[in-house]
Amino acid sequence: MSMTEILRKAMEAQGIALSSEQENQFEIFFEALKETGAHTNLTAILDEAGVAEKHFADSLLPISMNLIRGDEKVIDVGSGAGFPGLPLKIVCPGLDMTLLEATGKKAAFIEAAAKRLDVNIHLINGRAEEIARSENARMCYDICVSRAVARLNVLLELCAGFVRVGGRVMAYKGEKAAEEVKEAASAAKALGLKYIGTYPDTLGMTQIVVYERIEKLREVYPRKFSNIKKKVL
């Protein structure tokens, strides 16, 4: 089966019908991943089924779970080759989407891919814990998404700085999500976040863990990365 056919099936299972334009964009994205991925360390997954299911369809889960409406200001922390930020923007063009990535080569790929896909995103090549201290990013977003960046107790400190009071952090996690949620309880409290719930996909692969900001973030957070790692909240 072609990448597009596999993606179409996976999206049908999520109750989302892609337009032919969107399918075309995912095809272009797949081509770009293969081209750049052949010579640059972008992602380990480059085959048809892997990209369609583990990258594209997986990225889109918050939409089918009704966790994203489609008009929010969103930041994707540690996007790598553009996940989940670019697929979310393709399917919900009304999102005001920022992708944040620390590695220059990956950020360059995101920028080139967005151009080829003809989607308008903001790209920041930097580190979350530093960018979250700047005035035009701190507590400025409705939603912060992040996939495969760090364990939840560390990830919450990297993401917490971006969301406004009432805004949400959505972490893509695997089957051990519940364990990580428990482990991150004290971090969430210190960061002014309230645990809302965990939303599993139908295959039991990915679970989206959701927190909401209930008070302003204390000035001390986020700390330097060395301290985040050394003294986990």
Question: By the criterion CB under 6 A, which residues form the site for ligand SAH?
Answer: 43, 77-80, 83, 100-103, 106, 127-129, 147-149, 158
Minimum gap (Å) between residue 185 Cβ and ligand SAH: 22
Strand pairing category for 141-147 and 96-101: unpaired
- 109 or 194: CB nearest ligand SAH: 109
78/167 with CB nearer ligand SAH = 78
Burial-class residue 50 by CB neighbours within 10 Å (0-12, 13-18, 19+): middle
CA distance 92 to 101: 21
Give the shortest CB-216-to-ligand SAH separation in angstroms. 22
Nearest residue (CB) to ligand SAH, 147 versus 173: 147
How many other CB atoms are there within 10 angstroms of residue 69's CB atom?
12
Q: Which is nearer to ligand SAH, 194 or 224 (CB)?
A: 224
- Phi, psi for 125 (deg, rounded to 5): -95, 95
CB-neighbour burial class of residue 195 (10 A; exposed 0-12, middle 13-18, buried 19+): middle
Whose Cβ is closer to ligand SAH: residue 6's or residue 155's?
Answer: 155
Minimum distance from residue 20 beta carbon to ligand SAH (Å): 26
Minimum CB separation of residue 158 from ligand SAH in Å reads 5
Cβ-contact 72, 94 below 8 angstroms: no
Least Å from the CB of residue 131 to ligand SAH: 8
- Shortest distance in whole angstroms from residue 76 CB to ligand SAH: 7
How many Å is the Cα radius of gyration of the chain? Answer: 17
* Nearer residue to ligand SAH within complex by CB, 11 or 107: 107
Are the beta carbons of 54 and 45 closer than 8 angstroms?
Answer: yes
How far is C-alpha 26 from the chain's CA centre?
Answer: 17
